[in-house]
Each structure stands twice: as C-alpha cells, then as structure tokens.
C-alpha cells in the first residue's frame, strides 16, 4: 500500500482569550494541516504550528519544507514499511522540526488505521484506553488581577493544575504567583513556566523566596536561556523545586546531555520540537534509562497535533507523568470531526482507529498550493 497523494492546508481557529508568554502574544491558532491519502483511500492527518520564537518556523517555511522537500521525499513510498518512511522524514532536510512532526504523525495515523487500532495501542499494546489523561491549563502573562480571574475560572472548570506564565519581570513574577495561590487555595497545583526569562541567579533567588513563601510549586519550566545547560544545572543544585527542561530539549541528544549533566529533573517532550513521534519515543527511552520522567507538552496547537501527543502520552504513561496538552481547551471552537474527547482537564481516549480525526469543518480550513 503506497502513499498516493499529499495535500496541505491552513486551519484558523479563534482562541478563548489571547495567549501571552514572555516571548509572544497570539490571538488565534493558525496552523498548517497535512493530509496523506493511501492507494486505498484511507487518510492520515498531521498538523504543524508556526512557532518562530522557539523552532524558527513560520507558516511559509513550514509550507515550503513540506512542499519542496518532505512531500516529494515520501510520496509513493510503501506504507508497509513505516519505519523507512519515518527515517526518511527525519533525514531528508535539516531542522524544520514542526514540518517533520506534521508528516510524521500523519504517517503514524495512517499506519494505525491500516492496522485497525488506535495510535496509542500501536505504540504500546498495553495502553489502558479507559484511563483518561489529565492536563493542566496555561494562564497567560497579564496584569495580576487578570491572571487571578483566569486562574479562578480555570479552577471552576475543573482544572487541578495550572501552568503560570512568568519570566518578564524577574522577582515581581512572585507577586503573580502569590496572588494566584491565595485566590485558588492549596488544593490546586501550580506549575511555573519562565519561558527562558530569568538568569540563573535570578531563578535561584526567586525560587528560594517561593519556598520561603510556601507557594508549593510543582516545578519550574525552562528558567534560563535554552543554551544555558550549566546555568540550569546551577539552579537545580540550589533549589528543592523540580526543574523541567523545555526549549533546551529538542532532540534525543539534548535529553541525553541534560540528564547526564543533572541539569533537570524532567524534560518536556513536544512533538514539534522533536520532529514527531518517532524521535519523541527515543527521548522517552533515554529518560527511562536515567530513571527520569517526562512531561508531554504542546505549542499553540489544535486538536490534530494535540491528539497525536495525547496518544503518545497514553502509550508512554510509565515515563510521561505530567501532561500539558491544553491547546484544544484554549480554542473557542472545535472544528474537527472525531479524535479524543477534550473535556476541560480530562482527555478521554477511545477505540477509534489512528489518531481519530476523520475530517475538518470547511469554515475553518483552506487548502493551500504546494501539496500534490
């Protein structure tokens, strides 16, 4: 069974509220969607968000990488040998991790559909489909009053862990965290994401004060610049709060170095950083070898990509112990047909074959030139 056709399009979905981090502000999901069609008419879906500040990719660069390199490389290949296709995706062009991830997940989707099982079962036949995942919800960087309101609304929706975006104002970030903790009580987990916004010395001072204030933080994510592995190791050595590497950990070799140098307690696996499920599995294996755990996260992605990540998380439950897959929860509408059910903090898997997506409402989707 060969790959017969590949098309790309643009999906545009409004957000409930603008998404703000220390690096950017976004008001809608605007992602590239890829559809692979096999000779028997079966289809596989993939998705890639433009996250220039992190992966260096834009909508045009993703479309170009797919149309010029990735699509010609895999079109006509035999789906009976998915590992060969997945390796070809990784090797046919350097960088472009999100474009690769979109193609990768579409191939996995098709492979699982042809095997007539959910993707998570393809990845791990022992996956418990009846056990829902529980995601946190991101609270964007805003004036503290707005962040408190957003946090209280999230708790009212049932979220039991919140990820607080900080990193813009150093020690003043503690005020936001303190006010949020006071507003939501001590039964809800708080995860802090500094998005590379602190220096190592700032981070140690802030986290020490957070401990003194008894803010009870689950962990702090990417406190320093991505390249500053030694700085992150310094922070880990000088705080009791667990450290999670995000932008520092794109590829398996990054995870290997981080754990070898004892620079973080966990790594945040994102399919868009890793280049897809094929490479993410390698990161999970490395973490397991070091006796470490992983977080599964996402960029500003909609339901296709987040569903693929949810299947990965469900399959890798022994290693993936923290879930940050709130993309669909941030969207104002769900234009997709099928897939896991995202009900506020809960992600319910099901027995639908592949990723589970079977179509897209055309009001939110426009086909693009470049996929053939």
254-259's contacts with Cβ under 8 Å and 24+ in sequence apart are 255/283, 255/286, 255/287, 256/286, 257/229, 258/229, 258/232, 259/286, 259/287, 259/290, 259/292
Which one-letter DSSP state was computed for residue 331?
A: B
User: Interhelix angle for 97-115 vs 82-91, to 10°?
Assistant: 170
Give dist(CA 291, CA 64) in Å, integer.
39
Q: Which listed residue (100, 113, 165, 293) is catalytic?
A: 165
User: Interhelix angle for 82-91 vs 277-289, to 10°?
Assistant: 90
Which one-letter DSSP state was computed for residue 339?
A: S
* Other CB atoms within 10 A of residue 327 CB: 29
CA angle centred on 345, ends 337 and 98, rounded to 5° = 60
Sheet holding 133-134, edge to edge: 133-134, 346-348, 341-343
Residue 147 and residue 164 in contact, taking contact as beta carbons nearer than 8 Å = yes
Q: Quick check: is 12 catalytic?
A: no
Q: Which listed residue (270, 273, 293, 303) is catalytic?
A: 270
> Locate tokens 């000779």: which residue?
39
Q: Quick check: is 225 catalytic?
A: no
DSSP of 263-294, one letter per residue? --SEEEE-HHHHTSHHHHHHHHHHHHHTT-EE
Give dist(CA 239, CA 39) in Å, integer.
56
Nearest to 367 by CA among 2, 7, 3, 6: 7
The CA R_g of the chain, rounded to the nearest whole Å, is 20
Give dist(CA 73, CA 88) in Å, integer.
7
Give dist(CA 86, CA 100) in Å, integer.
9
CA–CA distance from 234 to each of 173, 204, 354 (Å)? 20, 8, 42
Residue 31 and residue 302 in contact, taking contact as beta carbons nearer than 8 Å = yes
Query: Which residues are catalytically annotated?
Result: 165, 270
């Amino acid at each position: 069974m060969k790959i017969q056709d590949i098309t790309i399009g643009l999906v545009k979905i409004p957000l409930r509220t603008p998404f703000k981090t220390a690096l950017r502000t976004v008001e809608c999901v605007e992602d590239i969607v890829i559809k692979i069609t096999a000779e028997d008419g079966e289809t596989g879906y993939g998705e890639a968000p433009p996250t220039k500040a992190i992966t260096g990719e834009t909508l045009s660069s993703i479309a170009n990488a797919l149309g010029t390199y990735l699509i010609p490389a895999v079109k006509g290949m035999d789906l009976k040998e998915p590992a060969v296709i997945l390796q070809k995706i990784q090797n046919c062009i350097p960088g472009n991790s999100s474009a690769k991830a979109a193609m990768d997940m579409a191939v996995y989707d098709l492979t699982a559909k042809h095997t007539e099982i959910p993707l998570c079962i393809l990845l791990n036949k022992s996956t418990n489909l009846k056990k829902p995942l529980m995601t946190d919800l991101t609270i964007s960087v805003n004036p503290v009053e707005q962040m408190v309101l957003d946090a209280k609304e999230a708790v009212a929706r049932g979220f039991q862990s919140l990820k607080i975006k900080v990193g813009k104002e150093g020690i003043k970030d503690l005020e936001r965290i303190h006010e949020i903790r006071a507003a939501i009580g001590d039964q809800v987990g708080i995860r802090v994401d500094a998005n590379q916004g602190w220096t190592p010395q700032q981070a140690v001072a802030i986290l020490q004060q957070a401990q003194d204030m008894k803010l009870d933080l689950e962990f702090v994510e990417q406190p320093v610049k991505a390249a500053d592995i030694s700085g992150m190791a310094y922070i880990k050595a000088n705080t009791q709060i667990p450290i999670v590497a995000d932008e520092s950990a794109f590829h398996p070799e990054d995870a290997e170095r981080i754990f070898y140098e004892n620079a973080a307690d966990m790594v945040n696996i994102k399919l868009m950083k890793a280049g897809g499920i094929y490479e993410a599995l390698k990161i999970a294996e490395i973490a397991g070898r070091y006796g470490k755990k992983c977080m599964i996260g996402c960029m500003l992605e909609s339901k296709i990509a987040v569903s693929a990540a949810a299947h990965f998380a469900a399959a890798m439950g022994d290693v993936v112990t923290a879930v940050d897959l709130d993309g669909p929860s941030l969207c104002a509408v769900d234009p997709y047909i099928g897939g896991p059910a995202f009900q506020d903090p809960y992600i319910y898997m099901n027995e639908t074959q592949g990723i589970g997506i079977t179509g897209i409402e055309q009001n939110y989707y426009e086909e693009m030139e470049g996929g053939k």
